Structure 1
C-alpha cells in the first residue's frame, strides 16, 4: 500500500544542512494502523509531510497504491492528495463555518453536487458521533468534538489513507481514548489505512498494529507493537515502553524492597498474549518451595493481544529460585532478576 524507499529530506537552514529524514525504508500494508513514534526533532512530522506530498524528498521515493507521488506534480499531485487525508493536533477547522459546512468544504472544492454533499455529510456526522451538532460552530464544541469534525472532514472524499499528526496531543486522557476508539472503528468499518505519528506510547499501545521508532531522522526500531513491548531493543524504545509499563511508584517500591529484603530476589516477569490469562503463578507456587510476594503488576492491551508485567519478591535457596525461574522460562515467560540477595 505505502512504500518508502531510501527516503531522505535535507533542509538548508542558512547555517548548514539539517537532515530531518535520513534514508528511511518502510512498508505499510493496506488496512493497517501504523504508528510512528519519536520525541520532538526526531523527523516524524517531516516524514508525514513527505507522505502527502507537502514536502518533496531530497532523495528516495514515496509510493502509494503503486503511484510514485514524488514523481508527479500539478493537477496529478492534487488528485493523488485527495486519496491521502490528514487530521491535525489543533483541528484546523474553519471557525466561521458550522460542523456541516466544515465537513462539506473539501467536497465543495472537488465540485461535488449539493445533493450528494448533503447526503455524504449526514453519513459522516453519524459515523463520527456528532448527530444533532450539525449546525454548531467550532467555538461551541469541546476539543474531542472538534477533532471528530476534523476526522469527518478528512473522510469526506473517501480517502485510502488517513494521516494523523499528533491528533490527540491537545486532548485530555479520556477524550484521547474516545478518539482512538473512533479511529479503530473507522479502520475496521472502512478498511482505511491509518498512519499515526505521536510522542505518546499510550497511543501506539492502544490502536496500532505495528510501530516505527524514530530518532535523529532514522528508524531505529520497527515491528509489531506487541513484539516491541515484549522485547524493546533500542534505548529510546525502552524509554517509550517504560511510559506505559513502569511508574515512579514501582521503581521506588523496588528500591525499598532491595533494602527490606536483601536476601531475596526481585524478579520481573513479562507475559504476552494468552499467557496473561493462564494461572502460571499459581502453578509456580504449587510446584516450587519458594515464598512469593507480588510487588507490582499491570496488564496493557494492544491490538495484537495483551502484555503484562509483574514484579515479584522471591525467597528461597539459590537452587529453588533457579528452578522456579527455569520453569517460568519453559512456560515462555520472560524473567529478569532485578536484585541479588
Structure 2
C-alpha cells in the first residue's frame, strides 16, 4: 500500500543544515496499523508530513497505492490528498463551526452536494460515537470528543490511508484507550491503512501490527510489534520497551533474594497461549521444589500476549534442574539468572 524509498529531508540553515529524515525506507501493507515511534527530535513528525506532502522531500520516493506522491504537481496532489486523511495532536478544529460543520468542511472543499454531505456526516457521526453532539461547538466538547470530530473529518472523503500524528498525546489515559479502540474499530470495519506516530510505547503495544523505531532521522529497528517487544536490538528500542514492561522494577525486585539462603532465580518468558498456563502450580505439584514469584508482568499486543516472570526455586540442585527441564518442554523460555547464596 505504501512504499518509501531513500526518503530524505534537509532543512537549510545559516550555519549548518538540519537533517530531519535520513535515507528512510519502509513498506506498509494494506489494511495494517503501522506504528512509528521515536523520542522528540527523532524526525517522526517530519516523516508523516512528508507522506502527504505538507513538506516536500529533499530526496527519495513515496508511493501510495501505486501512485508516486513525491513526484506530483500541485493539481494532481490536491486530488490525491483526498485519499489521505490526517488527525493531529491538538485537533485543529474550526472553533466557529459546529461538530457537523467541522466534519462537512472537507466535503465542501471537494464540491460534494449539500444532500450528500449531510448523509455522509450523519454516517460519520454514528461511526465515531458523537450522536447527540452534532450541533455542539468545539469549546463545548471534551478532549476525547474533539479528537473524535478530528477522526470523522479525516474520514470524510473515504481515504485509503489515515495518518495520526501524536493523536492521543493530549489525552488522559482512559480517553486515550477509548480513541485507540475507535481506531482499531475503524481499521477493522473500513479496512483502512493507518500510520500512527507516537512517543508512547503502550500506544504501539495496544493497536499496532508492526512498528518502526526512529532515531536521528533514521529507522533504527522495525518488525512485528511482538517480535520487537520480545527481542529489542537497539538501545533506543530497549528504552521504549522498558516503558511498558518495567524492567527497572523487575531488576529492583531481585533484591528480595537477600531473604533466601539457597536456590536459583529463573526468568521465564511467556509468549502467546503459554501465558495462560498454570505453570507454577504444575511445577510445584510435580517436583520437590518451592517456587516463589518475585516479579511478573504479562501484557497484550495485537499479535498476542507475552510476559516475563521472575521466580525463586528452592530445593536440591537435581530437582531444580528437573523442574527447569520440564518448563522448557512447555515452550516457555527459561533463563537462570543467578545462584542465591
How high is the TM-score relative to the length of structure 1?
A: 0.95
Structure 2 unpaired stretches of 5+? none
User: Residue deviations 1:124-155, cap 9 Å, x none?
Assistant: 00000000000000000000000000000000
Aligned partner of 1:7 in structure 2 is 7
Q: State whether residues 258 and 339 of structure 1, in contact with CA within 8 Å, keep that contact through their aligned partners in structure 2.
A: no
For residues 13-52 of structure 1, the aligned pairs below 5 Å read 13-52=13-52
Q: State whether residues 209 and 302 of structure 2, in contact with CA within 8 Å, keep that contact through their aligned partners in structure 1.
A: yes
In the alignment, the residues of structure 1 paired with residue 64 and residue 337 of structure 2 have an alpha-carbon distance, to the nearest angstrom, of 46
Q: State whether residues 85 and 162 of structure 1, in contact with CA within 8 Å, keep that contact through their aligned partners in structure 2.
A: yes
In the alignment, the residues of structure 1 paired with residue 165 and residue 319 of structure 2 have an alpha-carbon distance, to the nearest angstrom, of 51
Kindly state the Cα deviation for residue 204 of structure 1 after the two structures are TM-superposed: 0.4
How high is the TM-score relative to the length of structure 2?
A: 0.95
For residues 69-218 of structure 1, the aligned pairs below 5 Å read 69-218=69-218
Structure 1 unpaired stretches of 5+? none
CA RMSD of aligned residues (A): 1.6
Q: State whether residues 86 and 163 of structure 1, in contact with CA within 8 Å, keep that contact through their aligned partners in structure 2.
A: yes
Deviates more, 1:283-292 or 1:190-199: 283-292
The answer to whether the aligner puts 1:285 opposite 2:284 as a matched pair is: yes
In the alignment, the residues of structure 1 paired with residue 261 and residue 45 of structure 2 have an alpha-carbon distance, to the nearest angstrom, of 48
In the alignment, the residues of structure 2 paired with residue 12 and residue 312 of structure 1 have an alpha-carbon distance, to the nearest angstrom, of 55
Aligned partner of 2:270 in structure 1 is 271
Secondary structure of 2:101 counterpart: helix
Kindly state the Cα deviation for residue 340 of structure 1 after the two structures are TM-superposed: 3.1
Q: State whether residues 19 and 217 of structure 2, in contact with CA within 8 Å, keep that contact through their aligned partners in structure 1.
A: yes
Kindly state the Cα deviation for residue 234 of structure 1 after the two structures are TM-superposed: 1.3
Secondary structure of 1:146 counterpart: helix
Kindly state the Cα deviation for residue 319 of structure 1 after the two structures are TM-superposed: 4.1
Deviates more, 1:324-333 or 1:179-188: 324-333
Kindly state the Cα deviation for residue 233 of structure 1 after the two structures are TM-superposed: 1.5
For residues 243-258 of structure 1, the aligned pairs below 5 Å read 243-246=243-246, 249-255=249-255, 257-258=256-257
In the alignment, the residues of structure 1 paired with residue 261 and residue 61 of structure 2 have an alpha-carbon distance, to the nearest angstrom, of 57
Q: State whether residues 280 and 291 of structure 2, in contact with CA within 8 Å, keep that contact through their aligned partners in structure 1.
A: no
Secondary structure of 1:133 counterpart: coil
Secondary structure of 1:13 counterpart: coil
User: Residue deviations 1:241-290, cap 9 Å, x none?
Assistant: 111111655443222x1322253333221111111122333333334332
In the alignment, the residues of structure 1 paired with residue 22 and residue 329 of structure 2 have an alpha-carbon distance, to the nearest angstrom, of 41
Deviates more, 1:49-58 or 1:194-203: 49-58
In the alignment, the residues of structure 2 paired with residue 330 and residue 20 of structure 1 have an alpha-carbon distance, to the nearest angstrom, of 48
Aligned partner of 1:230 in structure 2 is 230
The answer to whether the aligner puts 1:328 opposite 2:327 as a matched pair is: yes
Kindly state the Cα deviation for residue 331 of structure 1 after the two structures are TM-superposed: 2.5
Secondary structure of 1:339 counterpart: strand
Aligned partner of 2:259 in structure 1 is 260
Deviates more, 1:325-334 or 1:127-136: 325-334
Secondary structure of 1:41 counterpart: coil
Q: Mark the CA change 1:335 to 1:106 in structure 2 (over 3 Å): closer, same or farther.
A: same
In the alignment, the residues of structure 2 paired with residue 319 and residue 228 of structure 1 have an alpha-carbon distance, to the nearest angstrom, of 35
Q: State whether residues 102 and 149 of structure 1, in contact with CA within 8 Å, keep that contact through their aligned partners in structure 2.
A: yes
Kindly tell me the number of residue pairs found equivalent between the two proteins.
340
User: Which segments of structure 1 move beyond 6 Å, counting only runs of 4 or more?
Assistant: none
In the alignment, the residues of structure 1 paired with residue 13 and residue 259 of structure 2 have an alpha-carbon distance, to the nearest angstrom, of 55
Secondary structure of 1:134 counterpart: coil
In the alignment, the residues of structure 2 paired with residue 337 and residue 15 of structure 1 have an alpha-carbon distance, to the nearest angstrom, of 53
